[in-house]
Amino acid sequence: VDGPTSGPNPDGVHAFLHVDHDGALARARQIDADRAAGADLGPLAGVPIGVKDVLTTRGLPTTAGSRMLEGWVPPYDATVVRELHAAGLVVLGKTNMDEFAMGSTTEHSAFGETRNPWDPTRIPGGSGGGSAAALAAFEAPLTVGSDTGGSIRQPAAVTGTVGVKPTYGAVSRYGLIALASSLDQAGPCARTVMDTALLHAVIAGHDPYDSTSLPSAVPDVVGAARLGASGDLTGVRVGAVKELSGEGYEPGVVARFEEALEQFRAAGAEVVELSLPNIVHALAAYYLILPSEASSNLAKFDGMRYGLRVVPEGEGVTAETVMRATRAAGFGDEAKRRIILGTYALSAGYYDAYYGSAQKVRTLVQRDFDAAFGQVDVLVSPTAPTVAYKLGEKLDDPLAMYAGDVATIPANLAGIPGMSLPAGLSEGLPVGLQILAPQQADDRLYRVGAALET
């Protein structure tokens, strides 16, 4: 863990916002001492890990990539972080992200972008670009991310790493700074399917502190990864989602996807093409539901409770003027755009037309998945329509950036688990394959993913 304790890393990737040099070293020494004393440690004890800066860490800065929280040191650990400590993992520090997890490139971080280790002129994906780039740059073997509309899976795709969004409610949201509460889900990121499974097993499980936490047992994801590593998928039915490939997807991405389908067939799986007709409306529904929930969640950043407080000069300072000045200075452009959009969509007279309609579309998307999973065990698609594009390319064109989320968003709307894993290269850059499974069947992702990896 040599290097600066904050700021860009020497290699220029800038995966970390904060490195806990002393804390990590002390923790690693403690694990060593425990091991020497004969303690019964789990399989990941002593393994270093990066944590997306959206999860609260006691005693370590937590900014969610925003000026609004600059300098805030939470007094408590997120449940996920508590579980990492309990399993003996060594938290290296906090990874960079788009402000409040809004974005697909990490360029919306208030503290500078992260670069893709494959090509430093390109995006590492987002919002969790830091967590993915840390893996691809071999700065950490494991990281934790959060996925509201693809922020674990799309960065994994463009950095050639593995990322899983578990079933909604499988991993606690306690201490995960909320973007859109009905979509948010923390999950594991690593360089291999098995490493991802081992981390998944550590962070998943019921948490009484999260009212949407699932009460049921976590599926055996490690056993499933082991089973899949045999390379045999006999009897497994794989559905290729018709609407999530072809037009709008780069030819190199489609080519790698079709090769993956061939690989599934060669492994003994039955591969069919399935249509999920309402999935084409998922993107539009998401970009109404997300800003609506975000505008409500971000209302708490008012200059009174946490982080930044800007007191305007002059006479007549009121709570209202402090709030206005703080929010004007503290939020970046993308956060402001979504707060305005969400506030509008939720306002009286528009609520039914926008938010209400989006919720109906959400139900239709869920029904499409229910019907599809009546016919197949998993669904597959490319994770993203393109490989990593150039930094700056879509920064001034929000709609073009949103369009890149077309394949990842449906899983969040439906609450189902999804994995992205490497499917080869296109013009020297990584392409991701996405695997989707029914709610609480996260183990299927690992079986099928591990088989593709062999």
The catalytic site residues sit at 52, 127, 151
C-alpha neighbours within 13 Å on the C-beta side of residue 311: 6
SS (H, E, C) 350-412: CCHHHHHHHHHHHHHHHHHHHHHCCCCCEEEEECCCCCCCECCCCCCCHHHHHHCCCCCHHHH
- Min. distance of Cβ 123 from ligand GLN in angstroms? 11
Name the segment binding ligand GLN (CB under 6 A); options: 3-11, 63-71, 145-153, 426-434: 145-153
For ligand GLN, the nearest residue by Cβ is 151
CA distance 341 to 348: 14
CA distance 47 to 31: 10
- Min. distance of Cβ 286 from ligand GLN in angstroms? 7
Name the segment binding ligand GLN (CB under 6 A); options: 7-15, 144-152, 343-351, 354-362: 144-152
Size of the site for ligand GLN (CB under 6 A): 13
Task: Kindly tell me which of 101 and 218 has the beta carbon lying closer to ligand GLN.
Answer: 101
- Min. distance of Cβ 258 from ligand GLN in angstroms? 26
CA distance 72 to 56: 10
Cβ 57 vs Cβ 73: under 8 Å: no
Check residue 302 for interaction with ligand GLN (CB under 6 A). no
CA distance 200 to 442: 10
String marking each residue 368-407 x if it binds ligand GLN according to CB under 6 A? -------------------------------------x--
User: What does the block give as tokens for 222?
Assistant: 């490690």
String marking each residue 173-202 x if it binds ligand GLN according to CB under 6 A? ------x-----------------------
User: What does the block give as tokens for 299?
Assistant: 């209302």
CA distance 134 to 111: 16
In what order do the strands lie in the sheet containing 16-19?
16-19, 90-95, 48-52, 142-146, 186-190, 162-165, 418-426, 429-436, 378-382, 237-241, 270-274
- Min. distance of Cβ 127 from ligand GLN in angstroms? 4
Task: Kindly tell me which of 122 and 447 has the beta carbon lying closer to ligand GLN.
Answer: 122
Q: Where are the alpha helices (DSSP H) in 18-103?
A: 21-36, 79-86
Name the segment binding ligand GLN (CB under 6 A); options: 59-67, 141-149, 295-303, 349-357: 141-149
* The one among 150, 219, 239, 307 contacting ligand GLN by CB under 6 A: 150
Task: Kindly tell me which of 97 and 451 has the beta carbon lying closer to ligand GLN.
Answer: 97
Check residue 127 for interaction with ligand GLN (CB under 6 A). yes
Task: Kindly tell me which of 51 and 102 has the beta carbon lying closer to ligand GLN.
Answer: 102
- Min. distance of Cβ 15 from ligand GLN in angstroms? 17
Task: Kindly tell me which of 79 and 104 has the beta carbon lying closer to ligand GLN.
Answer: 104
Chain mean position to CA 302: 26
String marking each residue 84-123 x if it binds ligand GLN according to CB under 6 A? -----------------xxxx-------------------
- Min. distance of Cβ 54 from ligand GLN in angstroms? 8
CA distance 51 to 84: 10
Question: For the chain, how many residues are written?
Answer: 454
Q: Using alpha carbons, select from 84, 85, 97 the residue that is nearest to residue 133.
A: 97
Task: Kindly tell me which of 15 and 224 has the beta carbon lying closer to ligand GLN.
Answer: 15
Check residue 420 for interaction with ligand GLN (CB under 6 A). no
DSSP per-residue codes, 292-354: HHHHHHGGG-SSSSSS-----SSS---HHHHHHHHHHHHS-HHHHHHHHHHHHHHSTTTTIII
Check residue 290 for interaction with ligand GLN (CB under 6 A). yes
Check residue 129 for interaction with ligand GLN (CB under 6 A). no
CA distance 131 to 191: 11
* The one among 56, 62, 151, 381 contacting ligand GLN by CB under 6 A: 151
CA distance 105 to 207: 31
* The one among 139, 147, 293, 377 contacting ligand GLN by CB under 6 A: 147
- Min. distance of Cβ 327 from ligand GLN in angstroms? 20
Contacts to ligand GLN by CB under 6 A: 101-104, 127, 147-151, 179, 290, 405
